[in-house]
Amino acid sequence: MTNTADTPASSSTTTRRVVVAEDEAIIRLDIVEMLTEAGYDVVGQAGDGEQAVALAEEHKPDLVVMDIKMPVLDGISAAERIAKARIAPVVLLTAFSQAELVERARDAGAMAYVVKPFTSADLLPAVEIAVSRYQQIMALEDEVADLADRFETRKLVDRAKSKLQTQFGMTEPEAFRWIQKTSMDKRLTMREVATTVISAGDDRA
């Protein structure tokens, strides 16, 4: 199992650029410090959702970390706008872990969420999961133009990833990379590879 302390952006070839949005200044400074110490580059800080959207549009960061409860525009609405514009993945911070709120966050396009109070050991893995999931979705959307087909493809790829994780002990990103690489090597779509994985039992070849 990977140590969460070894998860950060410093292991990447390029430093991830982040916008942080939190209306409580002390918490915002804590988040910025956690991210900076882990090797991320905080390019913008916002105190409300409207400002967060503006900074995301201006800086085109790799990630937005944002509180759900904010003035002017709440975090879920801001996340929805950022997701629709395909700017960056969003990690939402919340003091609540109710299923309804989590569902709303997911529907808005948030890639991950972290419940307060949290430490860097909670935040950093969520950040990397969000970036990984976002990259997967972008890759699938580039491959599939039709919206209905895209949704069906994503469901099939998720099922195939889950099967690869269970049968071969892969992480989620490793499973997706295997599907992506196989599709390129065999000149198939990711949907075709996913369908084969789902129906092929233990035979990955």
The per-residue pLDDT for range 79-101, each reduced to its tens digit, is 989 988 889 999 999 887 666 77
Give the C-alpha distances (Å, rounded to integers) separating 9 from 23, 63, 70, 78, 92. Answer: 25, 11, 27, 24, 18
Tokens of 187: 């000149």
Range of the domain at 90: 16-118
Q: What pLDDT does residue 145 have?
A: 64
Q: How many domains does the chain have?
A: 2
Q: Rounded CA gap, 180 and 12, in Å?
A: 20
Q: What pLDDT does residue 146 have?
A: 66
Q: Please give the DSSP secondary-structure letter assigned to residue 19.
A: E
Q: Do 87 and 44 share a structural domain? A: yes
pLDDT digits (tens, 9 = 90+) for 1-28: 333 344 444 444 368 999 999 999 999 9
Q: What pLDDT does residue 41 have?
A: 94
Taking 70 as the pLDDT cut, the residues of the chain under it are 1-14, 97-99, 143-148, 201-205
Tell me the residue ranges of DSSP E strands in 47-172: 63-67, 90-94, 112-115
Q: What pLDDT does residue 4 have?
A: 39
Nearest alpha carbon to residue 95 among 115, 70, 79 = 115
Nearest alpha carbon to residue 55 among 8, 27, 90 = 90
- Domain end (from 60, 83, 118): 118
Backbone angles phi, psi at 180, to 5 degrees: -65, -45
The verdict on residue 104 lying in a domain is yes
Q: Do 113 and 33 share a structural domain? A: yes
Work out whether strand 112-115 and strand 63-67 pair parallel, antiparallel, or are unpaired. unpaired
User: In this structure, what CATH number is given to the domain that contains residue 74?
Assistant: 3.40.50.2300
The verdict on residue 58 lying in a domain is yes
Q: Do 159 and 105 share a structural domain? A: no
Q: What pLDDT does residue 152 have?
A: 78
Q: Do 64 and 23 share a structural domain? A: yes
Q: What pLDDT does residue 204 have?
A: 42
Q: Do 110 and 65 share a structural domain? A: yes
